[in-house]
Structure 1
């Protein structure tokens, strides 16, 4: 589905908070009904060529599926409400005409969110092995379906539904793709995503065709965007707080690239540097839609499956972490580079197979200065549409100026101070109250 203008989207009310997820569906629609609907959507992907009749259907075009899915009220919802997100158009004021567009949420994401946020007790149910196993099995099954030769039948309707252009594809003949996933992580022609000022190694660029938010610190990200109770850099990269890697990025800056199903799903290098270690972190398969990321009771980024690549920035010698995060119905995360490789901004790093997903780039404190327009939009808060190679920001350090010892020493002071303050009765009570809010 092509972007809608803000004016066109305004013709219907927008469902934009978790409370509305359940107020808008009849009370008798229970989690078991939603589970059955998700299973039916995935199963239908195997036989149905039209993506609007299966999991990838935009919610606004799903009214005709009410009877098939057995969800009373679906037709009224799809006809009455908009389900999705506004995103800012770069170079324009989001508050002015043409400054933002609307993107519809896929049907499977909307149903998955209903299951995730059904209520306090149901949130605990979601964390049980039964529901976790279900989401994992559905994701893996969808991946197998779209890896099958028969799945090529869905490519034409996918292109039509999401208004995709074939002009920039390395292989524009869709008959040459072996299956749907082969097309999903399609390659582009060389030069399709030019990097701004490629000779200037102090600059950083966008890592993906995506919707982007940037924050100078994790604290700022939590204030405006990531509302999960337990989000932290150590939990994101799978490290204990006192590890060298966790301390290296404590207080650092963060860029969040969210990819939607219609996007080009290969992600690229935001820096000029050298590839280091890659670590795999098992996890769940929850949606990365902003409504979930913005929910205080849910830690999407640190609970989902993710893969972390560490790099060294050529100009400053600073470490940089690139976290690829899977999501609901994402089949796999594949890296196409190896340790020790020297890469430049815009070079391919890897790809996601099927579904929406996210790339998070983490810089140590005092390394990155993000572009002002991206910062302004992020604190509104609203995501900004970007493509690979567009400007992200720049290094504020001179050649080889990163001081690892100083960064680690500063991190130790912060951790020591935090441990001292956490022993006070007031802070302990505050922590208990925070946890109670997430039950």
Structure 2
């Protein structure tokens, strides 16, 4: 009975309203009283957190915590791709006929995910992707998986379905329906890389470091614009952050990537860890 009830309930929940309410609660100064309990509940390692727990002014501020310098070393090499986040590999593989895998027996459309024209999305056909899920216990900052120039962003409004196992297995086209913010990065040796930051239930917003293009500012309308001056970010530089756990999808134009040993579905990744290596330069 429970298995039949929960999938139906997902669609009926006022997800966006619930997430806005949760955002206000966790931003309140009274929420700081829950931080210590949150740390215990999710067994968070305090020794790597940037500052003492008592210095965080709200639960939301703690969600967005930074880590101490050096605790997440960045794998070197311009031909090396690193994990942009701490998280667990949900899916990975080749982009076949413009589709990606969501779960066993479920696929979704790349063009819809990126919110781009079919012609623009086609450059990624034959490339690769990896989906990384951030749980509530994970570090929520998002970093550059490669070095390159930030050339464009797209914000796509949408629902806020949960992106855990329950949501992935029961919501068709989940990642192409949820609110998301896509950053397009041009690299020197692997073409374009799209960093897709997917919102989820109770994720109040996705922030980015390069401008004010956040889901808080642009909520309600699709926006796609060049990024002023195409700034160059180095691998491991901070790109943005979630105000709760969610999912990051990396989409690669290059078909010359080889996944690193041990990177597979269900495996836990640390930000800065090598996840792939390009075998030869893009033409």
Structure 1, gaps ≥5 residues long:
1-18, 26-110, 117-125, 404-439
Tell me which stretches of 4 or more aligned residues in structure 1 moved more than 4 Å: 220-224
Distance 2:18 2:31 in 1: 16
Structure with the bigger RCO (C-alpha within 8 Å, sep 6+) is 2
* SS of residue matched to 2:136: coil
* Alignment check: 8 A CA contact 2:91 2:102 kept: no
1:146 matches 2:26? yes
**The structure with more helix, counted as a fraction of residues:** 1
* SS of residue matched to 1:309: strand
Please name the residue that 2:135 is paired with.
260
Q: CA deviation at 1:226?
A: 5.9
1:191 aligned to which of 57, 70, 80: 70
> Judging changes above 3 Å, is the alpha-carbon distance between structure 1 residues 391 and 249 closer, same or farther for their aligned structure 2 residues?
same
TM score, norm. by length of structure 2: 0.86
Distance 2:136 2:162 in 1: 12
Aligned residues: 265
1:364 matches 2:262? no
* Alignment check: 8 A CA contact 1:257 1:359 kept: yes
Within 5 A, what are the aligned runs for 1:37-436?
Answer: 113=7, 115-116=9-10, 126=11, 131=12, 134-171=14-51, 173-196=52-75, 198=76, 200-213=77-90, 215-219=92-96, 225=103, 227-228=105-106, 231-241=108-118, 243-244=119-120, 246-295=121-170, 298-314=172-188, 316=189, 318-338=191-211, 339=227, 340-354=230-244, 356-374=245-263, 377-378=264-265, 383-398=266-281, 402-403=282-283
Tell me how large the CA RMSD over aligned residues is. Answer: 2.2
**The structure with more strand, counted as a fraction of residues:** 2
> Judging changes above 3 Å, is the alpha-carbon distance between structure 1 residues 373 and 20 closer, same or farther for their aligned structure 2 residues?
farther
Distance 1:309 1:259 in 2: 18
Structure with greater Cα Rg: 1
Structure 2, gaps ≥5 residues long:
212-226
> Judging changes above 3 Å, is the alpha-carbon distance between structure 1 residues 252 and 269 closer, same or farther for their aligned structure 2 residues?
same
* Alignment check: 8 A CA contact 2:92 2:101 kept: no
Q: CA deviation at 1:337?
A: 2.8
Distance 2:96 2:64 in 1: 34
